[in-house]
Structure formats: C-alpha cells, structure tokens
Structure 1
Amino acid sequence: MQIHFVILISRQGKVRLTKWYSPYSQRERSKVLRELSGQILPRTPKLCNFVEWRGLKVVYKRYASLYFCFCIDLDDNELETLSIIHHYVETLDRYFGSVCELDLIFNFHKAYYILDEILLAGHMQETSKRTTLRLIAAQEDLVEVAKEQSNSISNIIAQATK
C-alpha cells in the first residue's frame, strides 16, 4: 500500500500538518489542499470516510476538531488506511496525553517525528506504539545532549574571548 500524502485539517479549514510522499509542485500542493478541504469539510458524519479524487482515494477520519486525511491508490485497502490513521492518533494521544489541536500547532515537529517513525516513504514502517514512543524519547534525549554540548561550547568561547 502506497500513501501519497498525509494532511491534517482543522474544522475551520486550517492545514495543521502535511507530508508528501509523491512529487507535487508547490502550486499543485496548494490546489490539492483547497480541493480536498472543500470536499471533505462539508461532508456530514453519516457519510463514509472515503472520497474518490483525481484517480486516487482519500481516506479520512475526524478526531475532535481535526481531519486526518491519507491519500492512497484506488485499489488499496481503505480499512487498513483507517487503521493506520487510528494508530497515528493513538500514538499522538499517548505521547501528548490526550492530544489536541494546540499540541500539534505548538509541537508540530514532534508530530512530524512520530509520523516519520510510523511511515517511511509512504509505507507502514512501525506498528508498535511502544517502540515508536521509545524512539521519540531517545531522539529527545539526543536533542537535550546536543543542547548541553552547544551551551558548554558557547561558554568556552565566551570565556576565551574575554
């Protein structure tokens, strides 16, 4: 199963996260975002979560105030895609502790890290939430070590230039 792109859209139509696994120019990306938000946002909750669009299929699921949209090929499995969406949301939920839109706005880089651990080049990479969260924690530890090293180097330079 190939995922072409992932888009997170708020109910107001604001794009909160995009990840492109197929080549699209910036103009095409803007057009895709406009078209899909115009198609998905007005749909009622009673309609199915699949939309055929430009020879592809968009599978989406609304969680709270966000729509998680994944674009796949027409012959790919929609239910598998819904399970990937749910897996991503559950992982975000465990990481942030009841994730909300503001978590994604202010910590978008962490949402990208988690998505990158789950999906690789548009294919499912990691199915274990525990492993994903462990890898994210290890990555955060590396960032902290790098910050500490940067601070100590800055202190050494400051003392040397006095």
Structure 2
Amino acid sequence: MIKFILMVNRQGQTRLSRYYTPVELNRRATLEADVVRCCLSRKKDQCSFVEYKDYKLVYRQYAALYIVVGVTDSENELSVYELVHNFVEVLDKYFSRVSELDIMFNLDRVHVILDEMIQNGHIVETNKSRILAPLTALDKMADG
C-alpha cells in the first residue's frame, strides 16, 4: 500500500505532498525533512529503493525534481517505480513538458491526476487517456 507521495526540488522544498494514511501535521514536517534528506544524500549510482523506518522509499529524479513514494513492506517496489514514471509521463502529456512551475501554479490539476491514478493508497488506473479524461472535460467546459 502507498502511504505517501512527495515531490521535492533539489533544495528540499516540498512542491507536492499527498498522504494516504493519517499523519499528524507536526509529524509530517519532520517525516518530509528526514525522507528528503535520506533521498537527496544518495549518489546517482545507488539504488532508488531505500528502507526508512516503517516504510520503503521508492524515488526517481526528473531534472530538478525528486518524486518519493513511501510504501509498506508488502508493496512491489518495481511497480511503484513504474507508477512514478507513468505519473511523470501523464504530467508531461497534460502540460507538454512539465516543469516545477507548472506543478506549483497548477497544484489542483496535479492532484486530480494523482487522484485518478491512486485512491486510498492503491493504484487504480495507469491508462494515460483515462487519467486525463476528467481534466480534458474540465478544460473544455472552461473554454466553452
């Protein structure tokens, strides 16, 4: 099961956070700081899977952004690794070459995409056109 998803830049600033299990607000800040420190300190030739406290961390770097997913021990790391890549491909398709600014200024749209892919910590959709269908409909209504 997916516990949380974080998107952070190289400076460690969180650009997106989504929790699928309840975590107290004061604990979130320390959790995010520790997770970011753990992933950013690793070298490029090291594995993208890290054991951290109660979680397995799966992360990928895209340009200046890191996407970190915290999962339970029973979750398949490779499927989560592919999910992260699929998420970025969907963002690229929607924003046509997504950037950190796209994420910052369209956070609501990024959350819609994430909600179409993951619900209650489980992967529910991977088809790019089905994931983008609600946003496409919203964009058509806004234009019309």
The two structures have a TM-score, normalised by structure 2, of 0.95
RMSD of aligned alpha carbons = 1.4
Question: Structure 2: how far apart are the matches of 1:88 and 1:105?
Answer: 16
Question: Structure 2: how far apart are the matches of 1:25 and 1:95?
Answer: 32
5+ residue gaps, structure 2: none
Tell me what 2:89 maps to: 90
Matches within 5 A, 1:1-162: 2-142=1-141, 144=142
Question: Structure 1: how far apart are the matches of 2:138 and 2:2?
Answer: 25
Question: Structure 2: how far apart are the matches of 1:112 and 1:63?
Answer: 18
The Cα shift of 1:75 comes to 2.5
| Segments of 4+ moved more than 3 angstroms | none
The Cα shift of 1:141 comes to 3.7
SS in 2 for 1:104: helix
The two structures have a TM-score, normalised by structure 1, of 0.85
Moved more, 102-111 or 15-24: 102-111
Whichever residue aligns with residue 117 of structure 1, its letter is E
Whichever residue aligns with residue 130 of structure 2, its letter is T
From the two aligned structures, give the one with the greater helix fraction. 1
The Cα shift of 1:11 comes to 0.7
The Cα shift of 1:57 comes to 0.2
The Cα shift of 1:55 comes to 2.2
> How many residue pairs are counted as aligned between the two chains?
144
Bigger Rg over Cα: 1
Question: Structure 2: how far apart are the matches of 1:113 and 1:76?
Answer: 23
Instruction: Report % sequence identity.
Output: 35
Alpha-carbon deviations, 1:85-115, whole Å to 9, x = none?
0110000000000111111011111111111
SS in 1 for 2:41: coil
Alpha-carbon deviations, 1:105-150, whole Å to 9, x = none?
11111111111111111111111101111221113345x28xx9xx
Question: Structure 2: how far apart are the matches of 1:91 and 1:64?
Answer: 16
Alpha-carbon deviations, 1:27-67, whole Å to 9, x = none?
11011111011111111110000111112101000011100
Question: Structure 2: how far apart are the matches of 1:117 and 1:141?
Answer: 18
